[in-house]
Every structure is written in structure tokens, then in C-alpha cells.
Chains A and B, each alone.
Chain A
């Protein structure tokens, strides 16, 4: 009974995901952000307004880091020597700061939307 219910819910969810998949993967711009020595590089990334983009965050340190931004409404842990995709936008013009939660003294950056 429960497995049948679970299957039905899962089917509906993945149908919804499949319907929206084309828009998710169609033409999102990719911007690379490196974490090295507990700093973000580049520290400022400029992206166009009203456009969804992907941040490809590569953590080249051996320790994990958490990309965090209240302004972007994003929190994502990137384990050491690994990478993650963070989807951002569409955003209106402005500055959106982000930081590394585990190394806030050095890991600071911002998204500049123009």
C-alpha cells in the first residue's frame, strides 16, 4: 500500500521535473568560481540582469567550504577537492554578497548584476 503510494508520488514529482527540465538546461550561462587557500576567485562575478546562470564552484582546498548568501538565498556545502553547481537568478541589477561560512575572514565575494 505504502510502496504504491510512494511510487505514485514519485511519479508525479518526476513528471513535473521532466516537464520543466527543458527550461532548466536550455542555455544557462556557466560561471566558474574557484575556492583556493580559503578565498574565492574571482572575488567578483558579473552576470546579466534577469538571466538565470550556473555557478560552477570548484573547491581546490582539501577542507570543505560552504557557499552562503542570504541575498542570493543559497547555502551549499562543497567538500574538499570537489565541485558543485549553484543556480542563481534571474536577478535584478545590484550587488549580492556571498561568503564561505567556514572561513569568513578570507572567503568573501559578490555577484554583480548589470
Chain B
């Protein structure tokens, strides 16, 4: 009993702060055959001084399957360490405009380096366009596996985005993230710039925490290079 308690405390110390864990990014359902993508993104909770940085590389294996791998670093109490690795697959299930909405699916597998802890996430991506407005919803079901797991139930994470396609360099929008611990909402801007044989895209958002277990202010950003 004592050993179990100590193990739980040790594992909790290794885990990322749950405060902003529900904030990540909103995935669209589209996949491009042969696309190579390098991505760097960060989530920063300004109140608790916590940060998460992800660096990933991905490839469009077919015209409906994109695979991407990440290394995830986290900063807590002033120390920044690479603590996790993640592999994800995104599946495009319908052509853009084919049905009343566009459908995809995301499957992620995450491994904590210093603990016997795996996380599996899977769920649908739905996107609907209304003229220049695009609404996107991601609903992921998350299950922890391994001896150091702290949750035995399947948890649900929701992320939602509404953006206005003003022009390629500047698209304003809003996002809302929710899970068991996190609730955050705020404005986000998106853009991309075409280079000679590639594209650079960016996202920047400032989200307000809506409950006591979420930081009051969360900054999220993303840079990606597609070629």
C-alpha cells in the first residue's frame, strides 16, 4: 500500500502539469499526398510558468494518410527537458466538399520517457465551411496504459475552432479547448506565406482560462514549413 502510494506520488511528479494539458491545436481533416512538414509549436501558461514545446516531422504517405512524429519538451519549475515522444496518424475520410461536412480521424500514441506510461488518443475530426467561415471540431478519446498510469477511465478532450478566411497571410479566429481539467477560450490568428517551392505557416493564440484549474492566460503558437 505504502509502495503504491509512493509510486503514485513519484509518477505524479513526472507527469506534466494538468492545468493546460487540454490545450494543443485544432487539426483539419485534410491530407496531401507527398507533403513533407516540419512543425514547431508551444503552449505557455503564463500564470504557472509552465511550457510545452513540440517539434515534429510528418509526411503524406497517401492522399488520405498523414503520419507525424514528435519530441515533446516540458518546462516546469524552471527546468526544460525533453520528456515524451509521440507518433500520430491523420486519416482523411472524405474529399473536401463531398458531404455536408468534411471528415477525418486522428490517432495518437504518446510515451513518457521516465515512466511506464503510454497515452493513446483517437477520435474524429469534423470540418464545415460556411462561405469564408470554417468551423472545425476535434473530439479525442484518451486512454492511459502502463504501470504508472494515473487514470483508468477513458477521458474525452474537445477542441473547437472557428476561423475567417480573410486572406492567406491573415485569418482571424477563435478556439475553445475543454477536457476534465482544462477550459480555455480565446482569439487565434493564422497565416501562411508561399515561398518558391514551399510554404511557411503560423498560428498564434492568446487563450483565457475559464476554470480554476486552467492558467488565466495561455499563449499558444505554431510554426510549420511544408514542402
- 18 A-B pairs with CB atoms under 8 Å apart are A1-B143, A2-B143, A5-B143, A6-B107, A9-B123, A9-B124, A13-B93, A16-B103, A17-B94, A17-B103, A24-B98, A70-B167, A75-B30, A84-B63, A86-B95, A87-B95, A87-B97, A89-B97
Contact partners of A89 in chain B: CB under 8 A? 97
A114 CB → nearest B CB, Å: 18
Total number of A residues with any Cβ neighbor in B under 8 Å: 30
Contact partners of A73 in chain B: CB under 8 A? 96, 129, 134, 165
From B32, B100, B134, contact of A23 by CB (8 A): B100
Q: Does any Cβ of B come within 8 Å of A109's Cβ? A: no
Query: Once the chains are docked, how many angstroms separate the CA of A64 from the CA of B32?
Result: 12
Q: Which residues of B contact A (CB under 8 A)?
A: 30, 32-35, 63, 93-101, 103, 105, 107, 120, 122-124, 129, 134, 141, 143, 154, 165, 167-168
Nearest chain A residue, comparing its CB with the CB of B134: A73
Q: Does any Cβ of B come within 8 Å of A21's Cβ? A: yes
Query: Once the chains are docked, how many angstroms separate the CA of A16 from the CA of B98?
Result: 13
Q: Mark A67-102, 1 if CB is under 8 A from B, else 0.
A: 000100111110100001111110000000000000
Contact partners of B96 in chain A: CB under 8 A? 73-74, 76, 86-87
